[in-house]
Every structure is written in C-alpha cells, then in structure tokens.
Structure 1
C-alpha cells in the first residue's frame, strides 16, 4: 500500500481490513481505529496479485456512512478507463442492496 490515501482511510475508519497478494503469498492485516490489531500475517501461496482494502467509516467523524453504490460505480469506472490494466471491483454487501459492479 502506497500513498497518503490509505493512511487517511485508516485514520477515518473504525476498522480497516487489508489483503495483499504479492511475492507469491497472500498477506493480511487488520486495523481498529488506526492501530494494527495483529502483526502482518502471511497466508497460503498464490500466483495472483492485487490489493483489497475494506473499511468501515467512523460514524463519529462523518455525518453519514451510507454511500451511493451508483456514484461509486461510475467513479470507479472512470478510474479504470484512465488506468490501463487496472481492474476494480465494487461490492455492495449491505442487506438492503446486494450488488456488484466491475470495471476494466
């Protein structure tokens, strides 16, 4: 993970879960209120690559933690168009609206 973006997300979230597939393995680390809950964990071997960041925005900081799936889907599609080879997957896991959108 690189850049200030992930640091800001971590600081503004109650929980962050990170999964990175690189160097022949899957690695994970979880954070609670910006602090790691355990050391970086190495898991099974894999030839896959990629990063998944899941976060729970802090309701004490933000007015709302409800996001528009359609707005995020459009924005991710724009990002994928501008970054050759980038694949983004957005999954809405809320019970009220289970949906998935992909963009390459």
Structure 2
C-alpha cells in the first residue's frame, strides 16, 4: 500500500488478521478497529516464510468497500514483477465471487 505498511491498513480497517511465518514458527495476531484483540500467538514450527494480511475495509471511512478483483489483480501482478521473489496471492471471498466460481 504505497510503502506505508500494515499500520495504515490496520488504521483504515474494521478488522485485520495477520499471519507471519518467520523464525521457524507461524505467528498470528488479529486486530479490531486498530487494536489487538489478543497477544501475538506462536503456533507450529515451520520452515516456510511469508506474510498474509486479511483486512475488512472500514465503510465509515471509505465511500465504497466494493473493489474490482481485476484491478487489484493487475496491480499486484505489477508489484510482484517489480519485486524479485515476491509472491502475492489474491483471494476474493465475497459471496458473489463464490457463486460465480461455483456456477457451471
């Protein structure tokens, strides 16, 4: 997000879930309205590395919280191309996307 990091995403979201795989473990922490809902939690050991951020944009701040999957996909593809070793996985969990994905 323009190099400002997860702190801005957290401030502009109703909920944020973070999963980090580093230092030999998987770590998680959730936030509600910018405040941690629990302490940083260490889980199982892993050799994997990476970070996953899931967020719910705050409708009281943004005019709309409906995003174009295609626009985000293109932007993330550009970011991954410009940053060697970066993999970005974009998942659309909206009910409308699930209905389309399951249609024959």
Note the aligned Cα RMSD (angstroms).
1.6
Match of 1:71 in 2: 71
Per-residue CA deviations over 1:24-72 (Å, capped at 9, x if unaligned) read 0000000000000000000000111000000000001111000000000
Bigger helix share: 2
Runs of 4+ in 1 over 2 A off after TM superposition: none
Match of 1:95 in 2: 95
CA–CA distance in 2 between the matches of 1:9 and 1:86? 19
Residue 28 (1) aligns with residue 22 (2): no
Match of 1:4 in 2: 4
Structure 1 unaligned blocks of 5 or more:
100-104
Report the 3-state secondary structure (helix = DSSP H, G, I; strand = E; otherwise coil) of the residue aligned with 1:92. Answer: coil
C-alpha displacement at 1:4, in angstroms?
3.1
Structure 2 unaligned blocks of 5 or more:
none
CA–CA distance in 2 between the matches of 1:73 and 1:30? 25
Bigger strand share: 1
